Amino acid sequence: MNINITKYYYGDIPEEKGGGSAAHSESTANWPLWEVFIRSKQGLDHKHVGSLHATDEKMAIENARDVYTRRMEGVSIWVVESKYIHASSPDDAEAFYEPANDKVYRHPTFYDLPDEVKHM
Amino acid sequence: MQSQTLINYSLYLADNTLILAQRNAEWCGHGPVLEQDIALTNISLDLLGQARSFYQYAAELINAANPGAAPATEDSLAYLRDVYAFRNCLINELPNGDWGQTVLRQFFFSAYQFLLYEKLKQSPDETLAAIAEKSLKEVTYHLRWSSEWVIRLGDGTEESHARMNKALDELWSFTGEIFEAAPFEKAAAEAGYGVDPASLKDAWMEKVTDIFTQATLTVPAQRWMQTGGKEGKHSEHLGFILAEMQFLQRAYPNAQW
């Protein structure tokens, strides 16, 4: 069985003209990487659970269903091609996040909530 | 109604899923990519679950009909019957071939199972209906998964298209048997709780033609169809499958862990 698969890993994905992976791009034997987000039965938001390779969005969703929902972990699946996820750089962490540390006046904790107000 | 027909019908439904589960399980660890390895073994486990349900029902019926004899169990039915007692369709015992052949067989069989369970879930026999309803959800996914692979490989590269054609050549002669009603199937349909497979053939052909068109494959012309599985006349392959599957139970009877 001779199968040639070129896999792209996060970080070295080249910019493709046209974006998206339609079913026609299989002929290039490229299997893009997809990030998988699953919402569990009790949850309200989709959480990132991992990643997988697939040729197109249908296969990506089915693979996610087969790999990440075997033990009833979820009832809803989102898949996004990894190249469409843009992340902040750890080098910027200082400039991005530390200034918020000493600005306590931004937190909404300085008034008393009446007991009747729930879900706040 | 406990009758030999109902027992034979349940065993038929069980044998089909057990042997296909066993064949698909041979791919475990050998799939082309991890996610597909898991997908196919998931399908295998689904089929095994269906087999268990049908075997349990058959065992119940057998024990009710033979109160004095040693009780049958799902295990004794699966592990201690020999080739001639199995009623699965020949297509399920064929070697897996390459990935294309495996998904093509899965497509052919899942399309049949989908139509079968759709009708069977309306059976007046409550157990069969319940098993069919649960299994229909599993088979809906199997059909979707295998259809998409047939399309991907058929309408893929030159090599994948050629391999699919070769697989089609290998498998097509075994698709006719599925829709030939064996005597117990005819009797089960007449009694009202079973499904006459001939009634499923047109819808099955429609589905196959639809997917094949998208896969740029051609439905083969009429040809002679292999038969015999439902009457216990199997190919040489079933012997090897059972030898592997039953060895442990036969070598260490009643072994448990």
pLDDT at B52 over 80: yes
Q: What is the mean pLDDT of residues B134-138?
A: 96
- Identify the DSSP state of B206: H
The confidence score (pLDDT) of residue B80 equals 94
Q: Which domain holds residue B97?
A: 4-251
pLDDT tens per residue, range B183-220 = 999 999 999 999 999 999 999 999 999 999 999 999 99
**First-to-final CA distance of chain A:** 59
Q: For residue A5, which residues of chain B lie inside 8 Å, CB to CB?
A: 33
Instruction: Report chain B's C-alpha Rg in angstroms.
Output: 18
Residues A63-76 as b or e (16 or more Cβ within 10 Å = b): bbbbbbbeeeebee
**Distant-in-sequence, close-in-space partners of B213: CB < 8 Å, separation ≥ 6:** none
DSSP-assigned beta bridge partners for residue A78 = A37
pLDDT at B149 over 60: yes
Pick A53's closest partner by Cβ from B33, B152, B156: B33
B35–A53: do the CB atoms touch at under 8 Å? yes
- The strand ranges marked E within B102-252 are none
Q: What is the mean pLDDT of chain B?
A: 94
Total structural domains in chain B? 1
Within A69-100, residue ranges assigned H as helices are 93-97
Low-confidence ranges of chain A (pLDDT < 50): 11, 13-28
pLDDT at B2 over 90: no
pLDDT at B255 over 90: no
Q: Return the residue in A3, A6, A66, A73 with the most chain B beta carbons within 10 A, the one to mutate for interface testing.
A: A66
Instruction: Give me the CATH code for the A26-106 domain, please.
Output: 3.10.20.520
pLDDT tens per residue, range B221-237 = 888 999 999 999 999 99
User: What HEC string does A47-77 produce?
Assistant: EEEEEEECCCHHHHHHHHHHHHCCCCCCCEE
The chain B residue lying nearest A3, using CA atoms, is: B32
- The strand ranges marked E within chain B are none
What phi and psi values does residue A37 have, to the nearest 5 degrees?
A: -125, 130
pLDDT tens per residue, range B67-122 = 888 999 999 999 999 999 999 999 999 999 999 999 999 999 999 999 999 999 99
Pick B39's closest partner by Cβ from A23, A58, A63: A63
Q: For residue B145, which residues of chain A lie inside 8 Å, CB to CB?
A: 62
Cα gap A97→B69, rounded to integer Å: 76
Report if residue B61 sits inside a domain: yes
The confidence score (pLDDT) of residue A108 equals 80
CA atoms within 13 A on the CB side of B210: 12
Token reading at A116: 């009747």
Whether chain A has a CB inside 8 Å of the CB on B254: the answer is no
The chain A residue lying nearest B155, using CA atoms, is: A24
Give the whole-number percent of chain B exceeding pLDDT 70. Answer: 99
The confidence score (pLDDT) of residue A21 equals 42
The amino acid present at B133, given as its one-letter code, is E
- Residue B154 sits in a domain whose CATH number is 1.20.1260.10
The confidence score (pLDDT) of residue A98 equals 85
Is the C-alpha dihedral spanning A34, A40, A44, A47 positive or negative?
negative
Look up the ipTM and state it: 0.80
pLDDT tens per residue, range B173-186 = 999 999 999 999 99
